[in-house]
Amino acid sequence: MPQPIRIGIIGAGGIARSAHIPSYQSYGQDVEVIAVANHNKDKAVECAEEFSIPHAYEDEQQMLEEQELDAVSICTPNKFHASQAIAALQAGCHVLCEKPPAMTVEEVEKMTLEAEKVGKFLTYGFHFRFQPEVETLKKYIDGHELGEIYAAQTHYNRRRGIPGWGVFTNKELQGGGTLIDNGVHMLDTALYLMGYPEPKTVLGATYQKIGQRPGVGLMGEWDYENFSVEDMARGMITFENGSSLMFESTFAANVEELSSKKVSVIGDEGGADLFPLKIFQEKYDTLVDTTPAYVEKRDANEYLIHDFIECILHNKQPLSSPSEGVRIQQIIQALYESAKTGEAVNIN
Ligand SMILES: NC(=O)c1ccc[n+]([C@@H]2O[C@H](COP(=O)([O-])OP(=O)(O)OC[C@H]3O[C@@H](n4cnc5c(N)ncnc54)[C@H](O)[C@@H]3O)[C@@H](O)[C@H]2O)c1
């Protein structure tokens, strides 16, 4: 691997500027952000100036052809993830694609096949896996302290947290709302802790009850006139190994807390809640709860991006794998389909 690792960014918006570019740049001299592409050239130029990036492009294909890049971050709306990830892989780059993986299972399978074909890494922006409490709980699970995990539940609810910026409420560009924006982080965290079992059946329900009218915007004033996604998603997933998962997420709902997120996993030797971490066990003829005395404060996005670099430098597989990308997209797609038909969807 020639030094430094040459990075390209596709999409010069919120997540690129707040997480990807600063995290690559904070890694040190082994990494250089060489170029940024945005379909609105002015945004690309403005971003390049702000972060002292040498090259700005309107067309990502031109960037991929002209710059010898080692890796690319895909930071565009979900509609463009698949085509841009595939183009970057074909240009010989490792790819870190923002979540959710793409719009459909078919797209994610194509991305996966391309990564296998060219022998490059394809990974996703599931940064909650790098939260210290998630890492600790994973160690407990891998150390068999909870036994067999057979049930889990998760929610990521906001009372009035519809994003007032970007395209998060645009179904055509994003493919959905709360399920694939905030909810998908908790879904991935639960699946990761369960060992990403193979999904069997998905029953889902989605609602659009609040987003299409004006209201108290705790994440800015949302565009209620063009709100075309779900503001609540719920589901139950069963897995081939017999385990099951209950899911809920909201952009907006009439609930007490302004924002709350939780993952609970239940095993036959112990259970645990996350955010905050608490472990429940039966030991020495009594019931005990364990909580960490100290939780490190960290920027999980920065950890994810630094880990991506380490994987490239040391040729090790990133934490979030292409096959997991396919599995989570299968669940997302089945949940939306089930919500539409009212019937449970069998996967496979
Ligand atoms: N990991 C996280 O916690 C997290 C947080 C926010 C967003 N995201 C994900 O990141 C992605 C981008 O979200 P964002 O908040 O940065 O959105 P954003 O709207 O702030 O930025 C997207 C950028 O992409 C540009 N763009 C749009 N279409 C393009 C195209 N075809 N080619 C090139 N550029 C194009 C836009 O002009 C904009 O600059 C989404 O997939 C979103 O789900 C992840």
| Sequential pLDDT tens for the chain (348 residues) | 557 999 999 999 999 999 999 999 999 999 999 999 999 999 999 999 999 999 999 999 999 999 999 999 999 999 999 999 999 999 999 999 999 999 999 999 999 999 999 999 999 999 999 999 999 999 999 999 999 999 999 999 999 999 999 999 999 999 999 999 999 999 999 999 999 999 999 999 999 999 999 999 999 999 999 999 999 999 999 999 999 999 999 999 999 999 999 999 999 999 999 999 999 999 999 999 999 999 999 999 999 999 999 999 999 999 999 999 999 999 999 999 999 999 999 997
Tell me if 204 sits within 8 A of 338, measured CB to CB.
yes
Q: What CATH number corresponds to the domain at position 137?
A: 3.30.360.10
- 251: containing domain: 129-298+328-346
Structural tokens at position 103: 């719009």
Residues 100, 213 share a domain: no
Q: What CATH number corresponds to the domain at position 45?
A: 3.40.50.720
Residues 74, 199 share a domain: no
252 secondary structure, DSSP code: B
**Centre of ligand 1 from the C-alpha of residue 161, in Å:** 18
**Centre of ligand 1 from the C-alpha of residue 11, in Å:** 6
β-pair type (122-124, 149-158) = unpaired
- Start-end of H helices in the chain: 14-15, 21-27, 41-51, 60-66, 81-90, 105-118, 132-142, 171-174, 184-194, 300-314, 322-341
320 part of a folded domain: no
68 part of a folded domain: yes
Residues 167, 113 share a domain: no
**Centre of ligand 1 from the C-alpha of residue 13, in Å:** 5
319 part of a folded domain: no
315 part of a folded domain: no
258 part of a folded domain: yes
Tell me if 206 sits within 8 A of 233, measured CB to CB.
yes
Structural tokens at position 159: 């009372």
pLDDT, residue 3, reads 79
Q: Is the CB of 167 under 6 A from ligand 1?
A: yes
Q: Is the CB of 127 under 6 A from ligand 1?
A: yes
Q: How far is CA 196 from CA 110, 125, 238, 252, 266, in A?
A: 20, 16, 12, 28, 15
Residues 120, 142 share a domain: no
Number of domains in the chain: 2
* Dihedral angle sign, alpha carbons of residues 36, 39, 41, 46: negative
Ligand 1 pocket test target in 50, 98, 299 with most atoms within 8 Å of CB: 98
Residues 13, 88 share a domain: yes
Residues 79, 41 share a domain: yes
Q: Which amino acid is at 126?
A: F
User: Which of 124, 151, 178 is at the close of a domain?
Assistant: 124
Q: Is the CB of 63 under 6 A from ligand 1?
A: no
Q: Is the CB of 13 under 6 A from ligand 1?
A: yes
Q: Which amino acid is at 261?
A: K
53 part of a folded domain: yes
**Centre of ligand 1 from the C-alpha of residue 12, in Å:** 7
**Centre of ligand 1 from the C-alpha of residue 240, in Å:** 34
Tell me if 163 sits within 8 A of 257, measured CB to CB.
no
Q: Which amino acid is at 78?
A: N
Q: What is the position in ligand 1's atom list of the atom closest to the CA of 16? A: 16
Residues 137, 117 share a domain: no
Residues 153, 41 share a domain: no
Q: What is the position in ligand 1's atom list of the atom closest to the CA of 180? A: 43
Q: Is the CB of 175 under 6 A from ligand 1?
A: no
Residues 240, 168 share a domain: yes
The CA distance from 102 to 108, in Å, is 6
User: Which of 73, 100, 124 is at the close of a domain?
Assistant: 124
Q: Is the CB of 18 under 6 A from ligand 1?
A: no
pLDDT, residue 52, reads 98
Q: Is the CB of 346 under 6 A from ligand 1?
A: no
Residues 15, 71 share a domain: yes
334 part of a folded domain: yes
Q: How far is CA 200 from CA 83, 155, 206, 240, in A?
A: 28, 21, 20, 5
Ligand 1 pocket test target in 40, 63, 75 with most atoms within 8 Å of CB: 75
**Centre of ligand 1 from the C-alpha of residue 198, in Å:** 29
**Centre of ligand 1 from the C-alpha of residue 260, in Å:** 24
Q: What is the position in ligand 1's atom list of the atom closest to the CA of 126? A: 1
pLDDT, residue 1, reads 55
Tell me if 243 sits within 8 A of 267, measured CB to CB.
no
User: Which of 68, 101, 124 is at the close of a domain?
Assistant: 124
